[in-house]
Amino acid sequence: TKVLLTGGSGFIAAHILDQLLKKGHSIVTTVRSEEKAKKIREAYPDKTQDQLAIVIVPDIAQPGAFDEAVKIPGLEVVLHTASPFHFKAKDPKTELIDPAVNGTTGILKAIVKSAPSVRRVVITSSFAAIMDEAHLSDPNVTYTEKSWNPVTIDEIHRSPATAYRASKTLAEKAAWEFVNNKANGAKFDLVTVNPPIVFGPVIHYLSSLESINTSNERLVQLAQGHWKNGAPPSPGAYLYVDVRDVAAAHIKGGLEIPEAGGHRLFTTAGYYSNKEIADIVRKNFPEYSDRLPAEDNHAGALPPKDQRYGFDNSETKKLLGIEWITLEKSITDTIKSLKALGA
């Protein structure tokens, strides 16, 4: 199948690219710079231009950013993963909201205009578009594929996390509105993938400890001894999934499961806590023991059931049939990959 993958240099996208190539699909991926294009090309020296082509799209916030990139003969599936994920924005509107929302509506418009053969678009959304900050310790709330974060654009100055969550929520909303409004002329259907925090091994040719992706940052900090006096709390972030499962969900949802059309895929393996992460590293990497909190230090533990939200992703589990990677495997493989980068 001919696939367009945006943001091919990203943590999640690099796994999608790898899995797609292993399955024999033909891919065009976009990156922001020639420097990143070169790294990807060098990682797959045996691939022909037809198997793997790389197009530079410098800034997805710009109108028409994808107009040329989507002009691919026979293009069937688009996986749109590119979107800023960091908590460093000085101006959340231009640095987070615009690239997230304009990037999403921009690629949908470009497909309608110039890529009539596309039958399905998958957008990487997030649990950030499902959860509600006001109910993170509310045991009466159960998040499902139908839940929506009520955040609005007026709240983006509350905190960097709120701004990021708003960017994902507004972008996903814009996508569903676009395909549901017949006047826009979309001939494809939509799937979103909504993962909570994603752990898992980094793809080495793209990564360094200094520029590690946001969701693995805490594991670099742990490996560098910053958790010695106790694992940090992670308010609200109690669900996780492994990057290899997220990549597989994009491919199943985009290419392999026709019935996924119109669905939000709430990909999570379940609850985790920073305390459990520290325990897994202590067990499997004795060489890190002097950098870790003591076993009886309960900082960063999961709040009891009556002090956290519930979740139910049975619809997604039924559709995808993925055996989720366990926290122990996910963390162990991540730490191995960080060690290879010098952690």
Task: Give CA–CA dist 119/172, Å, rounded.
Answer: 18
Q: Applying CB under 6 A, which part among 4-12, 132-140, 145-153, 183-191 lies near ligand NDP?
A: 4-12
327-340 helix and 274-284 helix, angle to the nearest 10 degrees: 60
Q: Which residues, other chains included, contact 98 with Cβ-Cβ below 8 Å and sequence gap of 6+?
A: 61
Q: Which of 131, 163, 198, 338 binds ligand NDP (CB under 6 A)?
A: 198
Q: Which of 126, 147, 192, 273 binds ligand NDP (CB under 6 A)?
A: 126
Task: Give CA–CA dist 326/313, Å, rounded.
Answer: 16
Site residues for ligand NDP, window 61-80 (CB under 6 A)?
61
60 binds ligand NDP (CB under 6 A): yes
Q: Applying CB under 6 A, which part among 2-10, 113-121, 231-239, 285-293 lies near ligand NDP?
A: 2-10
> Minimal distance in Å, beta carbon 60 to ligand NDP?
4
Q: Which of 23, 38, 49, 59 binds ligand NDP (CB under 6 A)?
A: 59
Contact 196, 245 (CB under 8 A): no
124 binds ligand NDP (CB under 6 A): yes
244 binds ligand NDP (CB under 6 A): no
> Minimal distance in Å, beta carbon 229 to ligand NDP?
25
Give 168 or 308: the residue with its C-beta nearer to ligand NDP. 168
Binding mask 200-219 for ligand NDP (x = CB under 6 A): -------------x-x----
Give 179 or 203: the residue with its C-beta nearer to ligand NDP. 203
Rg (CA), the chain: 20
Q: Which of 75, 118, 197, 280 binds ligand NDP (CB under 6 A)?
A: 197
Q: Which residues, other chains included, contact 314 with Cβ-Cβ below 8 Å and sequence gap of 6+?
A: none
Q: Which of 78, 82, 115, 327 binds ligand NDP (CB under 6 A)?
A: 82
Binding mask 176-195 for ligand NDP (x = CB under 6 A): -------------------x
Give 122 or 223: the residue with its C-beta nearer to ligand NDP. 122
Q: Amino acid letter at 338?
A: L
Q: Applying CB under 6 A, which part among 40-48, 59-67, 135-143, 145-153 lies near ligand NDP?
A: 59-67
Which residues contact ligand NDP (rule: CB under 6 A)?
7, 9-13, 32, 36, 59-61, 81-85, 99, 124, 126, 168, 195, 197-198, 213, 215
